[in-house]
Amino acid sequence: MAPRSLLSATALVARGVAAVTLSVASSGGNATSGLQYGLMFEDINHSGDGGIYAELVQNRAFQGSTTYPSTIDPWTAVGGAALALDNTSVPLSSALPTSLAVTASADGIAGISNPGWWGIDVLASSTYSGSFWVLGDYAGNFTARLVSDTANTTLASATIAGPAVADSWTQFTYELQPSADAPSINNSLVVTFDATSGETLNFNLISLFPPTYKDTPNGNRVDLMEALAALNTKHFRIPGGNNLEGEAPPYWWNWTTTVGPLVDRESYVGTWDYENTNGLGLVEYILWCQDLAVEPVLAVWAGEYLDETIISEADLGVYVQSALDELEFLMGDASTTWGAYRIALGYEDAFSIKYVEVGNEDNLNGGDASYVDYRFAAFYDAIHAAYPDILIFESLSDLSWTYESAGQDYHQYTLPNYFVGQFNFFDNLPAGNPIQVGEFAVVQNNTANVDTGVNWADPKNPWPYWIGSVSEAIFVIGMERNADRVWGWSYAPLLQNLNSYEWSPDLISFTADQSQTVTSTSYDVLKLFGNAAFTSTLPADTSDDFGPAYWVAGEDNATSTYYVKAAVYNSTEDVGFNVSFDGVASGATASLTVLTAPDGYSYNSIGSTAVVTTTSSLTADDSGAFSFSLPNLSVALLSASA
């Protein structure tokens, strides 16, 4: 997307400044409520299935489509059994018609083995809970085991009593308690039965979960949720971006296929090169928000596929009704059709939805004309009439249009110098409706010409580099200064499975091995700022210009804390700061946290954090000022009691 406003290239020539003197007032800021730091999520980079969604078994239900046909992979046979996909005359459900037929080639143990999503982290501290379904005439016991493929040992084992029967599916549940940590993540789940030669049993929905965050059923990985919780964000856009839109008809993110028992959930042709199980469905997203204590921004499908297919005005009504049904499902009481369905599923209490976004990037793929012409209004008018308190965002990601009191969503993937150049972007916008910066990130390094944007034909950065993270901090500071207009922001994308991904850089990278999670340099910046949320900005009296130092002052009136967030970019020397706060006297103390890295191209990687965090205590001098200096390419937070 072309930036609407840039500082000139000359503004980014490296320079120094002796010192910045700020005198922060105790009131009169331009924000009435704090900037809503946020998260944005979709099943990209196996960040849902195979990622934060804690299911350990890959391809648990042999789900497929014409785009991604059902496959046996990565299941393998145990005991020389023959494996075949089988659409039995008695399906497990209409949603899960395909099962795995396991035919013993000899008397003895036969079964199946699954290596997980590129490994299974097996820990003695965890109890693993699983289940599987069987169709077939069998009276004996089953065995479920976690085995180390590195050491060729059994880590945990459970015996599960039959019988299974020939004419209907039977569910079996089991628990596995390892006695020791596995030597590596090279482990498998093995399910076997005591067969006679030629005997066939069909298996489906073979599942295994570790403990989940806050023990939420069908929930999320603990370690990744803890990393998200540490960011202290306020909102969460679900269920995506491009994945919401769908690649081509008939596949769009139809919420009705994502709720109810897992056995009744059909899969979804994801946008990011793999089939989504829909195990992570609408309710799971909302519970995820509850677990993180953040507000959902519920994105609803807006009648545009990524292949440029647009639903006509005459045919749009059914999709508008689907969005209304979705809101009724989440918020309706027992007297409503969909509210009653939610209650029947076990969710007695209504959920709360305060924010809705209509579509995603509807200015792209030929969507803008129809969006402006009829699509947005159809959704907005219907949702606003039924739920007048919901803030509804439009999704033209370039701020080119708005409608009545709708919020706007702005996306910016760019280069470090662009973000620094966009520091004043929001200063220059006329007053208007609330803006959500729903996706932003540095995706490539600077080029010689500052006015050159992202070249999407070139590779994107493999991970956030420090220079980009500092520039993102400056862009965030620019948003924060305008928090009366900028409602909130989200870095994107959020998660990356290092074994299979389509989009980098990402905020957090991971593998099945919990010890390999990488929180990026951008994560470090956003965590520092997110844990210093403002309830309002504060004016800072100064004669100093922005650049190479950038700052914003604010307060959290709930904790009576003053903050200054600052960053230095492209400076030839350290920048001194003298900061005084109205009412904070000589001798008072403040805490200063400074993030630096060895150089602009440093990055966090597995087992290695490039970002250096230095925290010090400062004492106000005789004039009540806190003095410190920040080096080039640094991000800082000063906090003092008000």
Catalog residues that contact ligand AHR under the rule CB under 6 A.
42, 44, 240-242, 360-361, 439, 492-493, 503
Closest CA to 526 of 595, 461, 591: 595
- Best CA proximity match to 298, nearest among 361, 225, 410, 392: 392
Residue nearest to ligand AHR (CB): 241
**Smallest distance from ligand AHR to CB 216, Å:** 25
Q: Give 20 or 492: the residue with its C-beta nearer to ligand AHR.
A: 492
Alpha carbon 232 to its chain centroid, in Å, reads 14
Residue 113: partners with Cβ closer than 8 Å, 6 or more residues away: 75, 76, 77, 78, 147, 188, 189, 190, 191
Query: At its nearest, how many Å lie between ligand AHR and the CB of residue 611?
Result: 23
Q: For residue 49, which of 122, 117, 109, 128 has the smallest C-alpha distance?
A: 117
Which residue, 560, 585, 568, is CA-closest to 628?
568
Shortest Cβ 310–ligand AHR spacing (Å): 17
**Residue 170 CB: number of other CB atoms within 10 A?**
14
Read out DSSP for 359-408?
SS-TTTTTTHHHIIIIIHHHHHHHHHHH-TTSEEE---TBS----TT-BE
CA distance 534 to 557: 8
Distance CA 623, CA 578 (A): 10
Q: Which helix (H) or strand (E) holds 337?
A: helix 337-344
Q: Which is nearer to ligand AHR, 465 or 569 (CB)?
A: 465
* Nearer to ligand AHR among residue 44 and residue 195 (C-beta): 44
Nearer to ligand AHR, 42 or 328 (CB): 42
- Min dist CB 468 to ligand AHR, Å, is 15
Residue 243 CB, nearest approach to ligand AHR (Å): 6
Using only the alpha carbons of the chain, give its radius of gyration.
Answer: 27
Shortest gap between Cβ of 588 and ligand AHR (angstroms)? 43
- Of 306 and 594, CB closest to ligand AHR: 306
User: What length is written for the chain?
Assistant: 642
Identity of the residue, 506 or 555, whose beta carbon is nearer to ligand AHR in the bound complex:
506
Minimum Å distance from CB 502 to ligand AHR?
A: 9
Residue 241 or 554 having the CB closest to ligand AHR = 241
Q: Which is nearer to ligand AHR, 237 or 342 (CB)?
A: 237
Cα distance between residue 190 and residue 144, in whole Å:
6
Nearest approach, Cβ of 525 to ligand AHR (angstroms)? Answer: 18
